Amino acid sequence: MKVYLPRKIGFCVGVRQAIRMVEEELKKKEEIYCLGDLIHNPVVMSELASRGLKVLSDVTRIKKGTVFTRAHGVERAILEEAAKRGLRMVETTCPYVSRVQRIARNLSVQSYHIVVIGSAKHPEVRSVVSDLPTKKLSIVKTIKEIEKIPRVKKMGIVAQTTESLDNFKNIVKNLIENRLEDGLETRVFNTVCSVVRERQKETKELAGKVEAMIVVGGYKSSNTQKLAEICRNMGVRTYLIEKEEDIDLEEVKKINTVGITGGTSTPEKVIRNLEKKLSNLN
């Protein structure tokens, strides 16, 4: 079996920064919490939990200690509640996510109707829209959902940082074409993370050269799911796993060429271990 990897694997800058900050705080052996999963990777979260990090989604349950935001960002109301309780907050929101928050706020102040292309249930999107007026806000995931966006004169468009670049471009294209007659003033910000874009591009290139793709990452990880979606859309056999033990070696050993890629919150060591395991198959 021949095993191929993309040029870049492992953590993105935002994930690496968040983990490093938590690890430094854990050395102090004090009460440390995170408001939800720091990142969407069970391997990493299990390691951090074993060293003392406690994950709670309800800030009212935290009486004292240091509280980390998640890399995806935290809703405004939760931050305000934490401040009210006098908790020490440590900001670990990914810089790319902070940029989306900032752009959306600025557009809202200028009376633009904000359109966020992404998943309404994702923590990042919830953090972005948490302090925007709901009457001037739409969240869409597909071209079909464009219909629910009201007819407005000014529209500002941003994307969840882990959104598929192709999906973002298709929605923007259709939205603008369908609203041209409205005299629509539109401002479009491609806020899909540059690391995510590059990971998607390399995954697409790799999937075109192999019989099967193995995508490694948390099942709750949006950017990992997007990589698997890209591979499936190309018609290549695709396996989505969280850790190396999840792969069925008996099944994949029949494959001659396989590519391995991973989300931006997937540790490089997990992918390297899987690469070694598959390379040793007869």
| pLDDT per residue rounded down to tens, the chain (282 residues) | 899 999 999 999 999 999 999 999 999 988 999 999 999 999 999 999 999 999 998 999 998 889 999 999 999 999 899 989 999 999 999 999 999 999 999 999 999 999 999 999 999 999 999 989 888 999 999 999 999 999 899 999 999 999 999 999 999 999 988 887 777 889 999 999 999 999 999 999 999 999 999 999 999 999 999 999 999 999 999 999 999 999 999 899 889 999 999 999 999 999 999 999 999 886
Task: Specify the pLDDT at position 228.
Answer: 97
Task: Specify the pLDDT at position 73.
Answer: 93
34 is in an annotated binding site: no
221 is in an annotated binding site: yes
Write down the catalytic residue from 31, 91, 124, 244: 124
222 is in an annotated binding site: yes
Q: Structure tokens of 99?
A: 């940029």
Does domain 13-94 fall under CATH 3.40.50.300? My reply is: no
Residues of the chain with CATH 3.40.1010.20: 2-10+194-279, 96-188
Task: Specify the pLDDT at position 227.
Answer: 97
Residue ranges of alpha helices (H) inside 8-75 are 13-26, 42-50
Task: Specify the pLDDT at position 282.
Answer: 62
12 is in an annotated binding site: yes
The CATH label, of 1.10.3720.10, 3.40.1010.20, 3.20.20.140, 3.30.70.890, for the domain at 96-188 is: 3.40.1010.20
| pTM for the model | 0.88
Q: Which fold has domain 2-10+194-279?
A: Cobalt-precorrin-4 Transmethylase; domain 1 (3.40.1010)
124 belongs to the catalytic site? yes
Task: Specify the pLDDT at position 57.
Answer: 86
72 is in an annotated binding site: yes
- In 10 A of CB 2, how many CB atoms? 12
CB 212 within 8 A of CB 274: no
Q: Structure tokens of 12?
A: 């993105």
Output helix, strand, coil percentages for the chain, rounded to the nearest 5: 45, 20, 35
